[in-house]
Amino acid sequence: MGVGITTKELRKVYTSPPPMAAGVMGFSMMGMRGSAPKNKKAFEIVALDGISLTIHPGEIFGLLGPNGAGKSTTIGILTTRVRPTSGEARIGDFDVWRQQVESKWLIGVVQQRPNLDFSLTAREILLFHGAYYGLGSAERARRAEGLLERFQLTTRADDMVRGFSGGMMQRLSIARAMVHEPEVLFLDEPSTGLDPQTKLLLWEIIREYNARGKTILLTTHNMDEADELCHRIAIVDHGRVIAQGTPAELKASIPGGYLIRLHVGRGSAELIERLQQLPGVTEVRGDSNAVDLYADRGGPLIGAIVSTVGDSGTELCDVNISEPSLENLFLHHTGRSLRQ
Amino acid sequence: MNAKTFLAMLARDAHVARRNLWALLTQTMLQPLLFTFVFGRVMTGAGMMPASYKGMLVPGIMGMSMVMTGIQAVSMPLIAEFQFTREIEDRLLAPMRIEWLAVEKILAGMIQALVSGSVVMLAAWLVLGAGVGLNFHQPLLFGVVMLLVALFSASGGLMLGCSVGQTQIGLMFSLVLAPMIFFGCVYYPWSALSGFPILQRLVLLNPLVYASEGLRGTLAPQYPHISIAAVAGALAVFDAGLILGGLKKFYGKAVS
């Protein structure tokens, strides 16, 4: 029987710069407050602003969002490394903050940045990790051997990891998190820095692991990864969940699905209104020269768009059509691109 | 506490120490032995120091080696593991309360300090030749002082390792450790400072003074030294303060 994850109204406010436990480099300063000199604490960052999630046992769940959205902080709290300011986080039946050791037995964690033990060889890293979880020496050795092989690290197994490439370190980090066969696996940006081939290997391994009934929570800012791998996704931005569901549901929830972005010489309310009248167009947003159309079709609309823009007396500089995607969903909810 | 996890971490530290054995031994032994040779052998041999200086010197050198070894063994890896390489994260996630990891670090540091003290004592004895004049008439007291000194060095290492940033390691040596050694009654007994009454009181804030004087009092009681009871009391206070402070700092570093 698998183990699920729940969070209720999870909040985290940092009153000093987030240290390593949050594992965040490009932390968003969007939520920063309190620069007024009278304030006692000049530094305050709202990293999480009421995150509630229910992740079912045996699910691959993705947290999708830009840098600084609160993904790593969520993982930090769920893995006992970050103290929540308020709210509740549970792994299975255990309250993560109050029952830390019980929770730690159930989880495996891959952090965003490799954090391998540089004083050891690849094999020793896996063996000692197994020992920390009380595995017997024969069992440790067997599992280490299997994982080294699965992650294609056998030839470098007895080398010190100091000289490993970024991709090899990342593979070893993931292998290490699997040694004790945790019920819940946390992967913070697992495919960052991996070449396409290794990324596919990783996806395959994640699916295999999930097929054994294990729950996986991964964060990513890569839409393809979320789309390809996750059963369900939560899109987070500025410490809040802005949309949640299966990739298909989420994509279907964008009005029209297709996004047609126009660059025009000079936009106007009249132009937006006329575009809105076109068949199949569900929503139009725009400012002076950028106009976004949500529609149920892409290419077939272009002729009508060109003539509408032409009729309104301005020039059409650029047209970009994108198919229904999570990127468009994010754009729809936040007005910003995920990659920004 | 989860004993298997704790022991596995101790085994990991022992494994790493074994791997770096020669570097560790050189780091621990070279400086104390050079001091011992120059002051205890060359200068006494040339008649610039009385021969009795040998027995005075060895306990001080032992105390210094133990304190430096323990502090370095605990603080240097911690500084790197917390701030740059984050190597410690895997152990922080192991199924054990994280304070136990700090306790494990203290225990590993104590073992290294005790080994270092014993090795330096034997080696210094060999370097100095005859007439060192150490005795083991109070083995129990000697053991207690050794343990208190080792505990001080390792818990001091925990405190420093969790307080000092990677860029401040140089400062740690020049501002904390160097004055500690020179005013730590390593090369002279505390009573030798009687000509500098203010300094003599000020150095009582330096825990190395109690380490040197305690070892002197148990190994070479024929020389003037601070009473063993005062030494044990002061070291116990330093130990307790550093353990509590160190654990708190460690926890603050590990959890945000």
Query: Cβ of A115 and B87 within 8 Å?
Result: yes
Written in H, E and C, the secondary structure of A131-166 is HHCCCCHHHHHHHHHHHHHHCCCHHHCCCEHHHCCH
Per-position pLDDT tens, chain A of length 340: 789 999 999 999 988 765 554 444 444 444 444 444 455 556 788 889 999 999 999 999 999 888 888 888 999 999 999 999 999 999 999 999 999 999 999 999 998 888 899 999 999 999 999 999 999 999 999 999 999 999 999 999 999 998 898 889 999 999 999 999 999 999 998 888 788 888 899 999 999 999 999 999 999 877 778 888 999 999 898 899 988 999 888 877 776 677 888 888 777 777 888 888 888 787 888 877 888 888 877 777 788 888 888 787 778 888 888 777 777 777 777 766 655 4
Q: Give the separation between CA B89 and CA A132, rounded to whole angstroms.
A: 13
Domain end (from A230, A251, A272): A251
**DSSP code, position B196:** S
Q: How far is CA B186 from the centre of its chain?
A: 12
Tokens of A340: 């920004």
Domain ranges of chain B: 3-254
Q: What is the average pLDDT across B166-189? A: 87
C-alpha distance from B97 to closest chain A C-alpha (Å)? 6
C-alpha distance from B9 to closest chain A C-alpha (Å)? 7
C-alpha distance from A300 to closest chain B C-alpha (Å)? 53
Smallest CA-to-CA distance from B61 within B109, B120, B127 is with B120
Least confident interval from A303-307, B185-189, B198-202, B248-252:
A303-307
Q: What is the average pLDDT across B191-198? A: 90
Least confident interval from A26-40, B2-16, B214-228:
A26-40
> Which residue type is seen at A57?
P
Query: Cβ of B90 and A176 within 8 Å?
Result: yes
Give residues with Cβ within 8 angstroms of B139, minimum separation 6: none
Residue found under tokens 């405190």: B159
Q: Give the separation between CA B247 and CA A85, rounded to whole angstroms.
A: 22
In percent, the amount of chain B with pLDDT more than 70 equals: 99
Q: Give the separation between CA A339 and CA A255, rounded to whole angstroms.
A: 21
SS3 category, A52? strand
Q: Which residue has the higher pLDDT, B110 or A326?
A: B110
Q: Which residues of B touch A120 (CB under 8 A)?
A: 12, 15-16
Residue B146 is predicted with a pLDDT of 94
**Do A173 and A30 have their domain in common?**
yes
- State the CATH number of the domain containing residue A42: 3.40.50.300
Query: Cβ of B16 and A120 within 8 Å?
Result: yes
C-alpha distance from A191 to closest chain B C-alpha (Å)? 19
Shortest CB distance from A128 goes to which of B4, B12, B253?
Answer: B12
Q: Give the separation between CA A244 and CA B195, rounded to whole angstroms.
A: 77
Examine residue A150 and state whether it is found in any structural domain, yes or no.
no
**Do A94 and A177 have their domain in common?**
yes
Q: Give the separation between CA B19 and CA B253, rounded to whole angstroms.
A: 28
Give residues with Cβ within 8 angstroms of A232, minimum separation 6: A55, A59, A61, A62, A244, A245, A246
Residue found under tokens 């506490």: B1
Examine residue A158 and state whether it is found in any structural domain, yes or no.
no
Please check whether residue B123 touches A, CB under 8 A. no
Examine residue A31 and state whether it is found in any structural domain, yes or no.
yes
**Do A171 and A278 have their domain in common?**
no
Structural element, H or E, at residue A26: none
Structural domains counted in chain A: 2
Q: Give the separation between CA B77 and CA B81, rounded to whole angstroms.
A: 6
**Do A10 and A26 have their domain in common?**
yes
Distance, first Cα to last Cα, chain B: 22
Would you place residue B164 in the very low, low, confident or very high pLDDT band (cuts 50, 70, 90)? confident
Q: What is the average pLDDT across B57-61? A: 89
Chain segment B12-46, per-residue pLDDT in tens = 999 999 998 888 888 778 888 888 888 888 888 88
Smallest CA-to-CA distance from A60 within A201, A164, A169, A190 is with A190
Residue A17 is predicted with a pLDDT of 67
Check if the beta carbon of residue B30 is closer than 8 Å to that of residue B38: no
Query: Cβ of A115 and B90 within 8 Å?
Result: yes
**Do A92 and A208 have their domain in common?**
yes
Examine residue A224 and state whether it is found in any structural domain, yes or no.
yes
Residue A42 is predicted with a pLDDT of 65
Residue found under tokens 């410690």: B88
**DSSP code, position B29:** H
Examine residue A13 and state whether it is found in any structural domain, yes or no.
yes
Examine residue A136 and state whether it is found in any structural domain, yes or no.
no
> Which residue type is seen at B218?
T
- State the CATH number of the domain containing residue A272: 3.30.70.100
**Do A246 and A267 have their domain in common?**
no
Angle at A208 between CA A207 and CA A214, to 5 degrees: 80
Please check whether residue B93 touches A, CB under 8 A. yes
Q: What is the average pLDDT across B158-180? A: 87
**Do A82 and A169 have their domain in common?**
yes
Query: Cβ of B93 and A109 within 8 Å?
Result: yes
**Exposed (0-12), middle (13-18) or buried (19+): which is A124, by Cβ within 10 Å?**
buried
**Structural domain that includes position A199:** 5-116+164-251
Smallest CA-to-CA distance from B39 within B67, B71, B70, B64 is with B64
Q: Give the separation between CA B205 and CA B222, rounded to whole angstroms.
A: 25
Tokens of A250: 């989420």
Query: Cβ of A120 and B12 within 8 Å?
Result: yes
Examine residue A36 and state whether it is found in any structural domain, yes or no.
yes
- CA dihedral sign of residues A142, A128, B85, B69: negative
Check if the beta carbon of residue B189 is closer than 8 Å to that of residue B225: yes
Domain end (from A195, A216, A251): A251
SS3 category, A326? helix
Residue A141 is predicted with a pLDDT of 95
